[in-house]
Amino acid sequence: MTLPAEIATTADLADAASEAERRIAWLRLAAVPLIGASVALPHPNPDKEAFFIAAGAVAVYALGALVWAYARPVTLRFGVVATALDVAAISVLAGFSGGGFSQARLAYFLIPVAVAFRFRPALTAAASAATVVAYLAQALAHPASHSRGAERFIAIQVGFLVWLGLAAVLLSAVLWRRTARVGALAEGRRRLIADSLAAGERERRALAEGLHDNAIQNLLSARLDLQEVSEELAHPGLQRADAALAESIRNLREAVFELHPYVLEQAGLVAALRSVAQRAARHGGFAVRLDLTSSSGSPTRTAP
């Protein structure tokens, strides 16, 4: 199934992206105490005081991102900036807790998974690559990288990060395609509803025009003929027939108005609402007050 690119920019996808960003914000905030707890585990050359200061700053950033995701509309720029800040924050925390050999390095694995929720495979791939580069820079710059077995350790960690990045890219692609299909189905549903309403409106208009141009005109013509006869020959039956024709014409006009209020096209929505209110008031025997605003912006008040 091939989907047009514009489907990914529908309101449904925008809502899904906002919801995903909020989930990422919660995940980011939940990761902070986990990273903080990792400093208690054995690792080389920790700087605990600087680590906890940086962890506090990251916690403030995570909380601010969470508030922003709920209070403001999220955009692609927000996702890119947040991802870059995530990589930078984890790199700083890892640097203060033993670099690429500390337990805090495991936080790098959170980046590809979190970014996958944004339904953008390209962004997920870029974030995964940035994570690998950041980890390599941390690990290779640390003095422990020259120790025995360090290269193997680093290679295994990079392998895990690459594997997780590929999996996250595939997951992001699957999520995007499924969300795009949902958006396409929703758009198709809206179009079907609009077409159905338009078809019903055309049928009502055609029926109203038929009644107005044929049935009502024939009855008016018959009533005129009957009135001409009544002028020459007065008879109670003719008066009753004239009254019946007048009632039938009135009922047909009411039906035509219910089918398609021509006043809506000719005089606008305000006049149409006023006409509907007046008819309802006459039929129900009650008074109604309308406070309407015309297309020009001037308020109009009616109390039929």
Spatial neighbors of 102 by CB under 8 A, at least 6 apart, are 38, 39, 41, 43, 44, 46, 94
Strongest mean pLDDT among 43-57, 90-104, 130-144, 252-266 = 130-144
Q: Residue 4: its pLDDT value, please?
A: 42
Q: Residue 11: its pLDDT value, please?
A: 58
pLDDT digits (tens, 9 = 90+) for 36-74: 665 555 555 556 778 888 888 989 988 998 898 888 877
Contact 124, 69 (CB under 8 A): no
> Among residues 108, 125, 107, which one has the least CA distance to residue 116?
125
What does the angle CA 201 – CA 204 – CA 207 come to, to the nearest 5 degrees? 150
Q: Residue 210: its pLDDT value, please?
A: 83
Mean pLDDT in residue range 76-88: 87
Contact 161, 169 (CB under 8 A): no
pLDDT band at 26 (very low <50, low <70, confident <90, very high): confident
What angle in degrees, to the nearest 10, is found between the helix axes of 11-38 and 76-96?
A: 10
Task: Tell me which amino acid residue 164 is.
Answer: L
Q: Residue 203 pLDDT more than 90?
A: no
Mean pLDDT in residue range 174-186: 83
| Whole-number Å distance between alpha carbons of 268 and 294 | 8
Task: Tell me which amino acid residue 47 is.
Answer: D
Strand partners of residue 299: 293
What does the angle CA 103 – CA 104 – CA 108 come to, to the nearest 5 degrees? 115
pLDDT band at 93 (very low <50, low <70, confident <90, very high): confident
Q: Residue 129: its pLDDT value, please?
A: 93
| Whole-number Å distance between alpha carbons of 108 and 100 | 10
Q: Residue 275 pLDDT more than 70?
A: yes
Contact 134, 90 (CB under 8 A): yes
Share of the chain above pLDDT 70, in %: 83
Q: Residue 242 pLDDT more than 80?
A: yes
Pairwise pLDDT comparison (44 vs 155), residue with the higher score? 155
Q: Residue 9: its pLDDT value, please?
A: 44
Contact 271, 290 (CB under 8 A): no
Domain boundaries, the chain: 5-189, 263-304
Mean pLDDT in residue range 126-147: 87
pLDDT band at 296 (very low <50, low <70, confident <90, very high): low
Pairwise pLDDT comparison (133 vs 204), residue with the higher score? 133
Weakest mean pLDDT among 32-41, 136-145, 292-301: 292-301
| Whole-number Å distance between alpha carbons of 175 and 181 | 10
Q: Indicate the average pLDDT of the chain.
A: 79
Weakest mean pLDDT among 45-54, 95-104, 143-152, 294-303: 294-303
> Among residues 76, 53, 181, which one has the least CA distance to residue 122?
76
42 Ramachandran zone, left/alpha/beta (phi>0; psi -120 to 50) = beta
Contact 44, 101 (CB under 8 A): yes
pLDDT band at 146 (very low <50, low <70, confident <90, very high): confident
**What is the SS3 assignment for 117-169?**
CCCCHHHHHHHHHHHHHHHHHHHHHCHHHHCCCHHHHHHHHHHHHHHHHHHHH
| Whole-number Å distance between alpha carbons of 243 and 71 | 67
Structure tokens that stand for 85 in this block: 């800040």
Weakest mean pLDDT among 30-34, 56-60, 245-249: 30-34
Q: Where are the beta strands (DSSP E) in the chain?
A: 290-293, 299-302
Q: Residue 99 pLDDT more than 80?
A: no
Task: Tell me which amino acid residue 65 is.
Answer: A
Mean pLDDT in residue range 286-302: 65
Q: Which long-range contacts (CB under 8 A, 24 or more apart) does 1-4 make?
A: 1/181, 3/177, 3/180, 3/181, 3/184
